[in-house]
């Protein structure tokens, strides 16, 4: 490993510059174009990444603009060690103090959308493969880096990839936390539709949220009212513990609340501006569907008001975040992101929600089951050893609410790239990754490759 360590140390500055280059491509999902199913910027990100892989002597292939892969070594694809990362990013959102796609370096950090989720870790994996190659480490199995372009919007990229080529059976995705995540909760998008009441506060319009997996940090709504309603709204905000801005507008009032954006898998880490607005509506006397949502969801994070709060010893608590809402023409349409424990039944969960809100139309536009890999597998144990060798950290497995590419493999786990104690910046304003984290990730990934794909003595 000494030669690999020397190489990675020499690559440090180059790794940073590669991350900056990738982050400066605003690869938010866009309008489909020929050869670019997720927009031209996502395709540009894929082409750029594959060109860098080729520069390091890896064998690359792009699959219709959905995804691409880069191979190190030879052997069966099914038996290859896969490393899966994504190049697409969520929309910028509110609250940034730095250029979202500027890739600015400051205080040992690289700032920009995608630095931590997931371009920084993808670059660390690429340089780990480069170091193993240039160190001349003999491999007993192929190592395949797979880079997709639609992880943030449902992973249709890997669905296409699996149709046109073979997916390895085993591997990891550096798109979560250390040490090793061998359990990913089930996910469900629950849709709430209902009619506004003609009594009480009249909400004329509200259009908040862009993605169901992003906690909105800002919300605005137009309501009927005058200066008295504006005063009541601001007083309600003081009572509830968060500021409300109320502005008179042509015989109506614009209400604005500011929360804290974040990843829907960790609703406790954010502050949902939609939930704040619903509580303001309730204080102002709203009735009908919006009152039901305020009472049943509001600012809760674990489904308590819906009667679905649950935890199990394997995967922990259910989490829920109401991340999109549209109010217009007397109708409300909202979408909630729910991450549920391994032992929960999603159909029973939806039935319970319908019982709790019988006057609303409840549907399930999308869901995926939990994912579990035994901690005793060679994959998990090898990854834990690699992590421990570099950090000295505890060799243990954990469960998360986030869904990663790991679920696309029979034996896939999430491995890094966030270290214990580091701040979670995925989907947040002023997203960053530290330069030291990039380097340490590359060291860990290189050791994992050697442990899991390198030739053993006597082979």
Catalytic residue positions, numbered: 88, 151
Question: Three-state SS across 337-402?
Answer: EEEECCCCCHHHHHHHHHHHCCCCEEEEEEEECCEECCCCCHHHHHHHHHHHHHHCCCCCEEEECC
Burial class (CB in 10 A: 0-12, 13-18, 19+), 265: buried
| Residue 301 DSSP SS3 | coil
**b vs e for 97-128, b when ≥16 Cβ sit within 10 Å of the residue's Cβ?**
ebebbebbbeeebbbbbbbbbbbbbbbbbbbb
d(CA 110, CA 430): 10
Helix (H) or strand (E) run with residue 233 in it: helix 227-240
Helix (H) or strand (E) run with residue 321 in it: strand 319-328
Place of tokens 């938010």: 28
Reported in sequence order, the residue ranges of 30-138 that DSSP labels E, i.e. its strands, are 59-63, 67-72, 81-86, 105-106, 109-111
Place of tokens 């998990």: 380
Burial class (CB in 10 A: 0-12, 13-18, 19+), 381: middle
d(CA 23, CA 187): 28
d(CA 211, CA 232): 31
**How many CA within 13 A on the CB side of residue 125?**
30
d(CA 124, CA 296): 43
Burial class (CB in 10 A: 0-12, 13-18, 19+), 10: exposed
Omega prior to 417 cis, within 30 of 0: yes
């Amino acid at each position: 490993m000494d030669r690999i360590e020397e190489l990675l140390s020499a690559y440090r500055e180059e790794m940073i510059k590669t991350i900056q280059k990738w982050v400066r491509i605003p690869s938010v999902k866009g309008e489909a174009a020929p050869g670019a199913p997720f927009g031209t910027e996502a395709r540009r990100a894929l082409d750029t990444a594959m060109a860098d892989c080729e520069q390091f002597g890896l064998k690359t292939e792009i699959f219709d603009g959905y995804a691409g892969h880069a191979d190190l070594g030879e052997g069966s694809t099914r038996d290859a060690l896969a490393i899966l990362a994504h190049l697409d990013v969520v929309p910028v959102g509110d609250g940034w103090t730095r250029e979202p796609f500027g890739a600015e370096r400051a205080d040992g950090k690289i700032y920009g959308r995608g630095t931590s989720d997931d371009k920084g870790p993808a670059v660390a994996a690429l340089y780990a493969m480069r170091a193993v190659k240039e160190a001349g480490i003999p491999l007993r199995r192929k190592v395949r880096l797979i880079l997709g372009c639609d992880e943030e919007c449902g992973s249709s990229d890997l669905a296409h990839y699996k149709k046109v080529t073979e997916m390895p059976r085993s591997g990891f995705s550096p798109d979560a936390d250390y040490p090793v995540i061998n359990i990913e909760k089930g996910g469900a998008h629950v849709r709430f539709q209902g009619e506004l009441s003609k009594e009480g506060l009249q909400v004329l319009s509200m259009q908040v949220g862009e993605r169901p997996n992003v906690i909105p940090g800002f919300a605005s709504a137009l309501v009927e009212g005058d200066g008295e309603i504006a005063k009541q709204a601001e007083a309600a905000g003081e009572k509830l513990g968060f500021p409300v801005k109320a502005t008179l507008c042509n015989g109506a009032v614009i209400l604005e609340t500011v929360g804290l954006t974040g990843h829907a898998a960790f609703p406790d880490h954010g502050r949902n501006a939609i939930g704040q607005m619903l509580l303001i509506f309730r204080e102002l006397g709203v009735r009908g569907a919006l009152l039901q949502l305020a009472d049943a969801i509001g600012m809760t994070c674990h489904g308590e008001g819906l009667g679905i709060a649950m935890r199990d010893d394997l995967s922990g608590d259910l989490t829920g975040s109401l991340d999109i809402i549209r109010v217009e023409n007397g109708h409300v349409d909202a979408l909630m992101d729910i991450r549920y424990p391994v032992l929960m039944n999603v159909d029973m969960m939806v039935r319970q929600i319908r019982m709790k809100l019988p006057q609303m139309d409840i549907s399930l536009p999308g869901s995926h089951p939990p994912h579990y890999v035994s901690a005793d597998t060679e994959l998990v144990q090898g990854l834990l050893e690699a992590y421990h060798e570099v950090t000295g950290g505890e060799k243990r497995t954990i469960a998360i609410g986030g869904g990663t590419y790991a679920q696309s493999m029979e034996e896939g786990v999430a491995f890094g790239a966030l270290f214990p104690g580091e701040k979670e910046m995925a989907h947040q304003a002023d997203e960053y990754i530290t330069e030291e984290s990039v380097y340490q990730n590359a060291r860990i990934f290189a050791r994992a490759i050697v442990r899991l794909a390198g030739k053993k003595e006597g082979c």
